[in-house]
Structures are given as C-alpha cells and as structure tokens.
Amino acid sequence: MKIYEALENKSIRDGILRTVRNLSYQVDKNLQKHPYLVEYAEEVRNAKKEIIANFDFWIEKAMGILQSKGVEVFYANDANEAIKVVKEIVGSKKIVVKAKSMVSEEIDLRKYLERMGNEVWETDLGELIIQLKKEKPMHSVLPALHYSEAQVAEILKKIGINGRNAEELAEGVRDFMRKKFMSANVGISGCNAFSVDSGRIFLIENEGNIRLATSLPRKYIALVGIEKILQNDRLALKSVLLQSAFFGTFPPTYININEKIEQQEMFVIFLDNGRKSTEFKEQLLCIRCGRCQLECPIFQNFGNIWGGSAYGGPMGIIWTAITEKKSELCFLSTLCGKCREICPMKIDIPEMIRELRRSIIMRK
C-alpha cells in the first residue's frame, strides 16, 4: 500500500521538514512586519462566504463579464465535462505548455491531452520534475520538495539537461522551456483568484513561466474552480497576497493579471466538480497557501500520499471528499488542530474530518 511505502521514504520526511524549517518562521515574520495581512484575511474570508452562499448569482455574473470581453466561457459540472471542453479546444498533435495548476491535477488533464497525441509540458520546474517522474505533486505549492539536488540532476537527464548544481540545472531548464514556449499552440493555467468586476485572472508565481505560458500561445485556457471567484480586483489581489504570505514567500515574485488580449483566443472554464453540492462548504474558503500541509504531523511523515489522486494533507483529505470520494485515510489524522490554528481563513478542518469519519462509519 502506498501509504506504507511513503512511511519508509526518508526523502519525503527530509524534504518536508527542510521546507518547514525554511518557511515557517517566515510566516510569523510576515505577520509581524505586515499586521494588515490579518485584516486582509478576515475581509477575504467574509467575501468568499458571500460568494459560496450565492454561487449561481456570482457564476452567472462572472460568465457574463467574460463574454462581454470576447472570451469563450464554459461551465463544467464535473471533471469529464471540463476534459471534454479542453480536448475540443486543443485538438491533437499540438504543443501545450501548462502552468502549475492543482485543478488540472484534479481532473488529470495532462494524461488526457497526451492520449490525443499532444506534446504537453509542465513549465514550473517542480511540476516538470514530477511530470518526468510520473508522480503527483508532493505539495500544492512546492510539488518536488522531496527531491534533493542530486536526485533532480538525474531526473532532468531524461530530457537532455545536465548540470553540476542547481544554478546550472535551472539554466538548462530555462533554455529547454524557452523553445517550448516559442513553439506552443496552447497555454493552460489554473487561477489563484478571479475578479467578477473585471473578468481578470489573478496568478502568482516565482519563476516567470506563467506569464510566458499564458501570453505567447495563440490559444489560452484558464481553468477556474468556482471557489476562486471573488467580487472585485481589490479582493482578488488581497487573496493572492495572503496565499504568498501565509506560505512564507512574501511578497510574491510575480503577480500576473490576465485578461483577453488582441490576437489571442481566450477560453475560461469554470469547474464545479462537487463544490456547489458539498457538505463541506467551509473548505471552499481555502486559498491553497499549503501551510496546513507543511505544519501537519501526519503530512510530515506521509506527504501528499496521505490524500486522494490530487490533493493531500489535512486540507487535501477534505478536498478529496469534495472532488473525488470520501477516503478512509481521514482516520490517520491526529485531530491535533494545528491546521485550524495556522489557517488564514480559520477553516475548522478537524471538525470536518470528524464529520467525514462519522459519515464513513454510518455508510458501513
């Protein structure tokens, strides 16, 4: 069973604990230096609660503003509908460049596009490593945190990249990716926050790959989980700043604000996939900072193996129940409550895990 294999994998624990040491104190430092972030979190939480309570109204409004700007807009009830739309837009025998996107992992998009004969590349360095290893991301923000520099050097040899250190490896990936960006037919991204007021897609990154993947190809597809919808640009910007600050990398290196541009076809797919009907509505407040994963004692031992096909960790257990199925892996949780205490949205994950356990027991 994979969960036992993960427990024996020392590189997972070493990578997670190394990341915790590097980033956890930065979160406290961010909040001490920028105390207004706490106020931002409360404001974004309240705004998201309003969206979730009135999904139909805000989704219709979001689709309307995009259509008025010449964007082709789709609503996907589930993963199959989303995949079908993307496949129709992309076609076959195309070069596709992807920004790091957990919602694309959720629907296993890359696999379906490759089956149609497309050449698909993850453009985030960590995601590229995971793609070459044929694994799922170990963390929602740092997908390859469990690999050492030496291990990454061996992995990248699969695409002809050689280097003696991290700098040389990154330079090799940069050169490799530039060729893909320039020849790509389609760019795909997720969405960190969507502004209904302007129809803009907000994305944060630290490598500069997203702006190339979404601006150079003639076709651009944005996958938007409906929980990412916010009322206006101000709230969307605050949301992405919070995601960065509570992960420990503040301010973000790049903030991209995407909208329809001339000479590019733009497509936006709003994805439900269990979000509107879930009993775990509170989880939809999540801004995916990933801090609850790093701080969780169970995640520190099992990594993202503790979860579903895409999402792992404490928040991942609930996201899996929303988008995939209720997993008995929820019984591994210690219910220590640390995830609740450090969450910027104050999501009560332990209580939802208790409810998940009750529903699984009752089902039996």
Token pair belonging to 9: 């994998």
User: What is the Cα–Cα distance from 66 to 195, expressed in whole angstroms?
Assistant: 10
- Structure confidence by residue, pLDDT tens digits, 283-334: 999 999 999 999 999 999 999 989 999 999 999 999 999 999 999 999 999 9
Q: Where are the alpha helices (DSSP H) in the chain?
A: 2-8, 10-33, 36-53, 55-68, 79-90, 102-106, 109-115, 125-133, 149-156, 166-183, 209-215, 233-247, 291-295, 299-302, 313-323, 338-342, 349-363
Query: What was the pLDDT predicted at 182?
Result: 97
Selected residue with higher pLDDT from 25 and 92: 92
pLDDT band at 1 (very low <50, low <70, confident <90, very high): low
- Structure confidence by residue, pLDDT tens digits, 93-111: 999 999 999 999 999 999 9
The Cβ-side half-sphere exposure at 84, using a 13 Å CA radius, reads: 8
User: What is the Cα–Cα distance from 110 to 101, expressed in whole angstroms?
Assistant: 11
The answer to whether 121 and 98 are in contact (CB under 8 A) is: yes
Q: How far is CA 330 from the centre of its chain?
A: 21
Q: Which domains does the chain have, with CATH numbers?
A: 36-271 (3.40.50.10420), 280-363 (no CATH)
Query: What was the pLDDT predicted at 190?
Result: 98
pLDDT band at 85 (very low <50, low <70, confident <90, very high): very high
User: What is the Cα–Cα distance from 150 to 308, expressed in whole angstroms?
Assistant: 29
Q: At what angle do helices 233-247 and 36-53 cross, to 10 degrees?
A: 120
